[in-house]
Structure 1
Amino acid sequence: MKAVLATDLSAASEATIENETGLACLGRIGIEEINLVTVVPSNVHAGMPGIDFEKRRRKALGRYEQVIEGAGFDVETHVVRGTPHRRIRGIAETIGASLTVVGSRGKSPLENRVIGSTARNLSRTTVTPLLVNRIERETDEPSMVRKHLFQRMLYATDFSKNAEQAFEAFSYLRHAAQEATLVHVKTPKDPGLPEGEDPEAQLAELAGQLQEWGLETRTEIRQGDPSDEILAAEAEYEPTTTLVGSRGHSRLRRLLLGSVSEDLVARANGNVMLVPPERTA
């Protein structure tokens, strides 16, 4: 499996790359090759006097490359120019990446924010599973908020096809996970599932699959605003990563449609992993 790790060369990005525990977690889920990507924004002119941005970034990536190779991964580096989220997404698609990783706090000397517009735009448009890695805020030497990326998972589902696809990520996440909390949110305007379908029974069935893989599980039905309730569950159970499909039942404007997934990326305390809908030919 290949992963894209996007960096703006900020202290926050460095915290992600140099976290040995986080790299070990990626290895456990089957990542063998990491593609380091840094993007020089289109509005930064290559001809600025005395500055070769591409050369400076390649030199900086060289140090990161040594760290990741030392952790046992094959490494490829990419210094590209353009719109950050589009170039990151394009490289992930081109190399057939199984995962894209971006830090959730970061500001480079070139005013290129990896978190903010880039992470939000990736959450809307990614074609590969996206791990938004939460980094400490308001500190000069930040570190990862949750170093064990997948140890405690929170999985939120509206039982849509995309949510089912997100659940399938446990087939590899289970190798780095120990426990999982499965949550379904009922909304006030939710007409409910088709007759005869019981959300408690469906969550129990999913929990049974995870228990067969040795994961300690719990299930919970909540009611209210989807993003608020998912974030409340995160605050209660303190997962290392919240796993969701990036789209849900659009007819209900409910779980994980647009603004809800963006809310999770922006407001969650820990990491967020978004799984996009399966692409059709």
Structure 2
Amino acid sequence: MRIVFATDLSDAADAAIESRTCLECLANVGVTEVHLITVVPDNVSSGLPGMDVASNAREALKSQRRVFEEAGFEVEAHVARGTPHRRINGLAERLDADMIVVGSRGESPLRNRLIGGTVRNVARTAVRPLLVERIESTDTGYEVEKEELFNTTLYATDFSQNAQRAYEFLPQLTGAPERVHLLHVRGREQMESDLTEGDARARLEEMAADLEDKMGIEVETNVRSGGVVDEILAEEERVGATTTLLGARGTSRLRRLLIGDTAESIVAQSHNNVLVVPPESATPR
């Protein structure tokens, strides 16, 4: 598996990269090739005497690259200039990456920052599965909030085609999760559909049996009723999830927004790591 890992070379980025448990989780899901990328925004000048931003960035990348290499990954480092989310997503498309990994610190949409840019913009335009890794500030610096990335994975589904794509991504995580929890939330839209609560429970049980056969792990199911985002966040806490898996919900031709209201809200509000899988139509051929 090939991933693009975005970094702004900060102490927070170091915390994400240097977490041994996180590195082991990536290795366990089959990641062998890591492309580190840092983006120098256009508004950062390199014309000052004695200052070469790109060269400084390449030099700074060496220590982070070394961490991945010592963990056994094949690593290539990239320094780009421009808009961070465009450069990150562009590299992922060009490399045909299996996943993009970004770090996020802060909860609210205004404070929710990508290491190197804005996590919401990367999420909105990502055409590859995107893992948002939570980083928290501590008295001594930074650390990842939940080290064991995929140990307890919560998959939330509305049984749409986009949710199905996220479900189909689950077996690629084989080797990392110890438990998977399947969740359907009966919000207003779901309650107005023909799908009953009993139907939803039956479909989840079928999916659970399928995953247990494919992944050889424990799978539990639950159906909740209420506001979709609030219920997903509540279920994260109830089951002790370390990563929440969601399908992005559609596109906008004008702004190329791929993520959808629910997934975007979870990315912005959750304390969990979040893995968002884009619609099939978003993936370039």
Q: TM-score, normalised by structure 2?
A: 0.88
**What residue number does 1:192 align with?**
193
Which residue type is aligned with residue 243 of structure 1? L
Partner in structure 2 of residue 11 of structure 1 = 11
For residues 249 and 5 of structure 1, the distance between their equivalents in structure 2, rounded to whole angstroms, comes to: 24
Against the structure 1 CA distance between its residues 71 and 129, is the aligned structure 2 distance closer, same or farther, given a 3 Å change threshold? same
Distance 2:97 2:259 in 1: 24
Mean CA deviation greater in 115-124 or 51-60: 115-124
Does structure 1 residue 105 correspond to structure 2 residue 105?
yes
Partner residue of 1:253? none
SS in 2 for 1:45: coil
CA offsets, 1:97-132, max 9 Å, x none?
A: 0010000128xxxxxx52596210111110110000
Distance in 2 (alpha carbons) for counterparts of 1:196 and 1:223 = 9
Q: Letter of the aligned partner of 1:204 in structure 2?
A: E
Asked if structure 2 preserves the Cα contact closer than 8 Å seen for 1:235 and 1:269, the reply is no
* AA aligned opposite 1:202: R
Q: Is the contact made by 1:158 and 1:249 (CA closer than 8 Å) also made in structure 2? A: no
Supply the distance in 2 between the matched residues of 1:56 and 1:195 (Cα, whole angstroms): 58
Q: Are 2:43 and 1:43 equivalent residues in the alignment?
A: yes
Change (3 A) 1:195 1:271: closer
Q: State the percentage of identical aligned residues.
A: 47
Give the superposition deviation at 1:137.
Answer: 3.3
* 1:104-253 mapped onto 2 (5 Å cutoff): 104-105=104-105, 113-114=113-114, 118-137=118-137, 139-190=139-190, 191-193=192-194, 198-212=199-213, 213-247=215-249
Secondary structure at the aligned position of 1:77 is classed as strand
Question: Using a 3 Å threshold, how does the CA distance of structure 1 residues 199 and 74 change in structure 2: closer, same or farther?
Answer: same
Match runs of 1:53-64 below 5 Å: 53-64=53-64
Q: Compute the displacement of 1:266 (Å).
A: 1.5
What runs of 5+ residues in structure 1 fail to find an aligned partner?
107-112, 251-255
Equivalent residue letter for 1:60:
A
In structure 2, do the counterparts of structure 1 residues 102 and 132 end up closer, same or farther at CA, with 3 Å as the change threshold?
same
Q: 1:22 to 1:199 in 2, by over 3 A?
A: same
Could you tell me which residue of structure 2 aligns to residue 73 of structure 1? 73
Work out the number of aligned pairs and report it. Answer: 270
In 2, Cα distance between equivalents of 1:160 and 1:184: 11
Displacement after TM superposition at 1:48 (Å): 2.8
Answer yes or no: is the 8 Å Cα contact 1:181–1:219 preserved in 2. Answer: yes
RMSD across aligned positions (CA): 2.3
TM-score (norm 1): 0.90
Report the more deviating stretch, 191-200 or 87-96. Answer: 191-200
State the secondary structure of the residue aligned to 2:3: strand
Mapped to 2, the partners of 1:186 and 1:248 lie a distance apart of 20
Which 4+ residue blocks in structure 1 deviate beyond 3 angstroms?
137-140, 193-197
Q: Secondary structure of 2:135's match? A: coil
Alignment of 1:18-37 (within 5 A): 18-37=18-37
SS of the residue corresponding to residue 8 of structure 1 reads: coil
Indicate the residue corresponding to 2:255 in structure 1: none
What is residue 109 of structure 2 aligned with on the other side? Answer: none
Provide Cα deviations, 1:62-114, integer angstroms capped at 9, x if missing partner: 111111111001000000000000000000110110010000128xxxxxx52
**Runs of at least 5 residues in structure 2 that lack an aligned partner in the other structure:** 107-112, 253-257
Which range is displaced more, 46-55 or 19-28? 46-55
